[in-house]
Structure 1
């Protein structure tokens, strides 16, 4: 009797397990429900009304200006007219041609003499002379060197608008004074005015020069 009871329980457990596995393998289909109206037709997109208040999120929107001048023609490298490249050098060429129309004296005045200048010889019984010089043109950095009988007395003198110079003791006979142009300043040429005054305050000689770089002006004082 006990054996029959156990047998029945075993059969019931087997049936329950088989039913559970069967229920997991079977799928349940859900029938599709046809919509009465497509959801895409539910809402229609309408254009928004223009903002009459000219504001957005509290900020004022500036009104468009219909009077703005727009370019009538788009920029293009094709079909454009460009100037003659030779015009870039026209001024320089004209300046060079202008020099050919000047007299030799005018050219020398503009560009400076390229030959040494001799301003004469003068007699004096003085023991010494004062030689002074200045830039009579625009003060532009002209430099000169002063020599006495080929000895350098002042190696480099910056010419200003006022006279300045040096005292030179005269020796018996010839006293050659050279003024050598070391440069032509910023505007050129080397322009200077000089004066030679004896020990009594008498003017022995005075003159001016326009020199190119390296050219010299010379004056001779003859002591009797």
Structure 2
């Protein structure tokens, strides 16, 4: 029994000793200085007033178009409406622009080439220059002249002169070859073909073949858009 009491006494003595330990911790509080509050500075009196609109948040539960714009009605596929532009024909945004310019130029170039090559008549490219075909010698008593319009039958006419005398007046140029004869005298024979009409489609486009009595060709001519009054001359010397 004495041992138990002694053991309890020792425990109580140890707990009192730990409870009286002083850590000697020194605490120094920070002194608060007296801070004077800053004075409020009023804004300048001459500042302009800003008219700031009031911002109101849209009600997304009632209006889904939060930008406030009115959508345009798309009725391009509605038949019978005034705004209907629907068509089954595909459209080309370059229509009547670049393609037409090139097509027109190609047509003009083709027309000029055809006129230049004697395949088409064109009054804008009339040939007004007289020409001399040269001198020819023959022993024949006459010449045979074959003529026709080799492009378009549009009323082309020619006159024929021998030594300044009219021997054939207003010969009509058909599609088939027609002919007439020119009598020759000994010595110099001046023959002139003169455009009496250039027709309705452009210049005169006569095809003329001059042949002597031995069936020898004197000259072969293809007139390309000759203007009214143009002269084609040659000299035939009968030996």
When normalised by structure 2's length, the TM-score is: 0.50
Give CA-to-partner distance per residue, 1:188-215, whole Å, 9 cap, x none.
Answer: 1101111111122222221222211111
Q: How does 1:30-49 map to 2 (within 5 A)?
A: none
Unaligned regions of 5+ residues in structure 1, if any? 1-66, 74-89
Counterpart in 2 of 1:69? 80
Secondary structure at the counterpart of residue 71 of structure 1 = coil
For 1:222, the equivalent position in structure 2 comes to: 237
* Residue in structure 2 matched with residue 154 of structure 1 by the alignment: 168
Q: Spell out the pairing of 1:1-224 with structure 2 (5 A cutoff).
A: 69-72=80-83, 106=116, 110=122, 111-210=125-224, 211-224=226-239
What is the rounded CA distance, in whole Å, between the counterparts of 1:187 and 1:144 in structure 2? Answer: 16
Task: Compare CA radii of gyration and give the structure with the larger one.
Answer: 2
Pairs aligned (count): 136
Structure 2: distance between partners of 1:106 and 1:197: 26
Cα shift readout 1:137-187 (whole Å, capped 9, x = no counterpart): 111111111111111111111101111121111011111111111121121
Q: What secondary structure does 2:188 align onto?
A: strand
- In structure 2, how many angstroms separate the alpha carbons of the residues matched to 1:175 and 1:202? 17
Deviation beyond 6 Å, 4+ runs, structure 1: none
User: Would the alpha carbon gap of residues 143 and 203 (structure 1) be closer, same or farther in structure 2, given more than 3 Å must change?
Assistant: same
Offset of residue 70 of structure 1: 3.5
**CA distance, structure 1, for counterparts of residue 196 and residue 143 of structure 2:** 24
Could you give the per-residue CA deviations for residues 83-131 of structure 1, whole angstroms, max 9, x where no partner exists?
A: xxxxxxx99xx88xx69xx79x949985232111212221001011111
* Aligned equivalents of 1:143, 1:121: Cα separation in 2: 25
Structure 2: gaps spanning 5 or more residues: 1-77, 85-99
